[in-house]
A and B are shown apart, each in its own frame.
Chain A
Amino acid sequence: MVVCIKQVPKAQELQVDPVTKTLKRVGVPSEINPPDQNALETALALRAKLGGEIVVISMGPTSFDESLERAIAMGADRAFLVSDRNLGGSDTVPTALTLTRAIEKVGDVDLILCGEETTDASTGHVGPGIAGHMDIPQITYCSSVDIADGRVRGVRMIEDGAETWEVHMPCVVTIDFGCNKPREPTLTGKIRVKRGGLITHWSAADLGLEPSQIGLKGSPTIVAKVDTVQLPSRQGKIFQEDPAIAVSLLLEALRKDRLIA
């Protein structure tokens, strides 16, 4: 099983740089993209039931090792990071291509799990992109995954209910955000990480990727502008009087503004 993950700024601690108006990534606490954590948890549950090996793959700067270490401490067997200057500026097209090449290099993969989307970009493109590049089936937004008789069965969440799909392997399944509770890293897992040798770095060249296929050059889209929305200041009034009097004044004001009858 392969689980694709991305390291993102911690949601509660998102900071926008006031000068560049883009998301601050340096010096801000990071985490494994939460839907990817749900994907990893899904993989761990499947392994507990059926056995197998979990390989985690990511594309990004070497700081992403922090998330790969956490994934192994949570139970993954080994991890690969594709890290290369030339990958900078990649949108979801070269990202999906890069991950695909990495998955092919790992080889013998039955099931590819991804989070439904990232919390910092929210495109949801990469999982389906991998399936497209590999020409294999995909089930997106799954809240549960099972494997029986050599087929993958996924329950797919849609607006007014759920669909159940069954596909052959290999396939890509993207996992519904929040559908399970990702487990905590274990002491045993953290020891395995410290012993080392479980994370391998690959460059773009290692995967046979040409510079024209990746980075800004290989991206059909660019981020033209990131805007922060200034919330309009709200009107407000504070009644400082004794509570009993304040209440009558409040009711009067609400009636005057025709907010209550």
Chain B
Amino acid sequence: MPRAGEGALRVPPAADALRLTACPKGFYSLRFSASGHGTMAERFDAIVVGAGPAGSAAALTLARKKFSVLLVERGRAPGAKNMFGGRIYAWPLFDLVPDWAKDCPVERLVTQERMAFLTEDASLGLALDSPKLAEGKAASFTALRPKFDAWLAKKAEEAGAMLVTGIRVDDLWREGGRVKGVTVGADDRVAADVVVIAEGATSTLVRKAGLKADLEPREVSVGVKETIELPAETIQERFSLGEKEGAAFVYAGYASLGLRGGGFLYTNKASLSLGLVISSEDLARKKLEVQDVQTKFRMHPAVQKLVKGGKLVEYSAHLVPELGRRMTPQLVGDGVLVAGDAAGFLINNGYTFRGVDLAMASGLAADEAVEAARTAGGMTAANLAAYERCLRARNVLTDLEAFARTPLFLKNERLFDIYPRLLIDLAERVYRVDGTARDRLVATVLKEANASGVSKIALLLDLLKGARSM
């Protein structure tokens, strides 16, 4: 009997050989039939990279217009790798999914707008309660991205787009300066007439397409959010809301510890979204960790009043492109265009944050551009230039340009530190009755301004700049 040993060649004993000849199939040579694998790459009219609001909106409309569309998402499911504050302004949904109100995963419709300036222990606020806020096209609602993104991507699938998840596109497939499709690893390529880059704020494809240089720290803020579970009845009682109603809070001043940025709080059905958006540059300069700033913010008495009793169930973060129109990359190339956060389509003007609506509108515009290019004979940069016109017609570029000055204005440090404190000190002084001699209002204001150390000229200029950019 042969012994086991390293490398010893074992051959079955003669009996087996006999059995083999009796084997009904009786083949001794390898029969490998031609494999079903073609060497031709799969091909689509359009490939959309990223199944966030911009990508799904583009895929949905393109599929509706009978383009063959591949929607590729790197997460396990659309929304798995996404988060925001947040609130969605619904106006593009009326075009995108006209019956959106039927099954869109709305948390609460916003009927209350709140703005508060904070110092360490005080807050001064503005409150707007109006049914007009939730009326018609002006409606906005709080949402949770895993649910919303999944819903919108499903609509795209229902319209005929092919959704593939769990795949990260490495690079664009380029030939002679033209984009021909996408590549994932060396041998895995899919062809398309046009690629829509909807990868989000950290898009690498935009750089690889040569449409934008690397992100710089001054161009991004860090957005963080704590999801705090609280029963729906408690939320409704504490915020004086009806069952479907919601509140949106914006905080300035101590919320970000004087760093450029601000805080927010949104009411979801049975949770609160509490968070901050802070300049990356400032965090680095002051050597602060964003989660520490968040904790201090959460511990502020004005915030504690609203979140107490809640259970922290999730902590998430996201890069926020901050410079608006000034950082928009080139929007089109031969066979390619850019939508959503990847194109920097976000507006933060201090009292409102818009991103998802702009993303969806840019998806709609992308489809219009692709249709125009098809009619004009091909997906060249020249033909796709219709994209900019469409973005303008949908007020995406127009709004971004109108607020183009805001990001720079918001970079004025006095806004985040001195002015909130000035306002609160002023208000505290105005409301204080303690038996000491009282000044009239104007005198009080001037005394406070002097005490704050800001020159009257600087104050006046800041007021002017603020008014012009808002």
Q: Give the chain A neighbours of B35 by CB distance below 8 A.
A: 47, 51-53, 77
Report if A164-B32 is in contact (Cβ < 8 Å); known contacts: A135-B19, A187-B190, A188-B42: no
Report if A166-B11 is in contact (Cβ < 8 Å); known contacts: A187-B188, A191-B162: yes
A85 to B470, CA, bound (A): 67
B27 at the interface (CB under 8 A from A): yes
Report if A167-B7 is in contact (Cβ < 8 Å); known contacts: A53-B35, A77-B37: no
Chain B residues numbered 19-40 whose CB sits less than 8 Å from any CB in chain A: 19-20, 23, 25, 27-37
A18 at the interface (CB under 8 A from B): no
> Once the chains bind, are B184 and A110 in contact (CB under 8 Å)?
no
Report if A169-B27 is in contact (Cβ < 8 Å); known contacts: A77-B37, A158-B4, A191-B162: yes
Report if A187-B6 is in contact (Cβ < 8 Å); known contacts: A51-B34, A78-B36, A136-B23: no
Mark interface residues in B151-176 (1 if CB within 8 Å of A CB, else 0): 00000000000111011010000000
Q: Give the chain A neighbours of B25 by CB distance below 8 A.
A: 108, 170
How many residues of B are in contact with the other chain, CB < 8 A? 43
A135 to B21, CA, bound (A): 12
CB-nearest residue of chain B relative to A189? B188
> Once the chains bind, are A186 and B185 in contact (CB under 8 Å)?
yes
B10 in complex: contacting residue of A47, A110, A165, CB < 8 Å: A165
Report if A166-B10 is in contact (Cβ < 8 Å); known contacts: A50-B32, A53-B32, A108-B33: yes
B41 at the interface (CB under 8 A from A): yes
B8 in complex: contacting residue of A50, A51, A163, CB < 8 Å: A163
A185 to B164, CA, bound (A): 11
A170 to B28, CA, bound (A): 8
> Once the chains bind, are B12 and A167 in contact (CB under 8 Å)?
yes
> Once the chains bind, are B32 and A51 in contact (CB under 8 Å)?
yes
Chain B residues numbered 363-419 whose CB sits less than 8 Å from any CB in chain A: none
B9 at the interface (CB under 8 A from A): yes
Report if A188-B188 is in contact (Cβ < 8 Å); known contacts: A51-B35, A77-B35: yes
A169 to B20, CA, bound (A): 9
Q: Give the chain A neighbours of B33 by CB distance below 8 A.
A: 52-53, 108
- Closest CB of chain A to B168's CB: distance in Å? 9
A110 to B19, CA, bound (A): 16
- Closest CB of chain B to A88's CB: distance in Å? 29
A142 to B402, CA, bound (A): 68
> Once the chains bind, are B164 and A194 in contact (CB under 8 Å)?
yes
B121 at the interface (CB under 8 A from A): no
A10 at the interface (CB under 8 A from B): no
B164 in complex: contacting residue of A50, A110, A166, A191, CB < 8 Å: A191
Q: Give the chain A neighbours of B182 by CB distance below 8 A.
A: 187
A147 at the interface (CB under 8 A from B): yes
- Closest CB of chain B to A78's CB: distance in Å? 7
> Once the chains bind, are B31 and A53 in contact (CB under 8 Å)?
no
> Once the chains bind, are A52 and B32 in contact (CB under 8 Å)?
yes
A217 at the interface (CB under 8 A from B): no
A185 in complex: contacting residue of B30, B166, B187, B190, CB < 8 Å: B166
> Once the chains bind, are B28 and A164 in contact (CB under 8 Å)?
no
A190 at the interface (CB under 8 A from B): yes
A153 to B187, CA, bound (A): 29
- Closest CB of chain A to B18's CB: distance in Å? 12
A188 to B31, CA, bound (A): 26
A161 at the interface (CB under 8 A from B): yes
CB-nearest residue of chain B relative to A75? B37
A190 to B164, CA, bound (A): 7
Q: Give the chain A neighbours of B5 by CB distance below 8 A.
A: 161, 163
Report if A194-B162 is in contact (Cβ < 8 Å); known contacts: A53-B32, A135-B19: yes
> Once the chains bind, are B184 and A187 in contact (CB under 8 Å)?
yes
B31 in complex: contacting residue of A110, A161, A187, CB < 8 Å: A110
A52 to B11, CA, bound (A): 25
A163 to B166, CA, bound (A): 40
Q: Give the chain B neighbours of A52 by CB distance below 8 A.
A: 30, 32-33, 35
> Once the chains bind, are A137 and B162 in contact (CB under 8 Å)?
no
B250 at the interface (CB under 8 A from A): no
Give the A-binding residues of B (Cβ under 8 A).
4-12, 16-17, 19-20, 23, 25, 27-37, 41-42, 70, 72, 162-164, 166-167, 169, 182, 184-185, 187-190
The 10 closest A-B CB pairs, nearest first, are A52-B32, A150-B29, A186-B188, A51-B32, A190-B164, A187-B184, A165-B10, A150-B28, A161-B6, A187-B167
Q: List 20 A-B contacts (CB under 8 A).
A: A47-B35, A50-B32, A52-B30, A52-B32, A53-B32, A53-B33, A77-B36, A108-B31, A110-B31, A136-B23, A150-B30, A158-B4, A166-B10, A168-B28, A170-B23, A187-B169, A187-B190, A188-B42, A188-B189, A191-B42
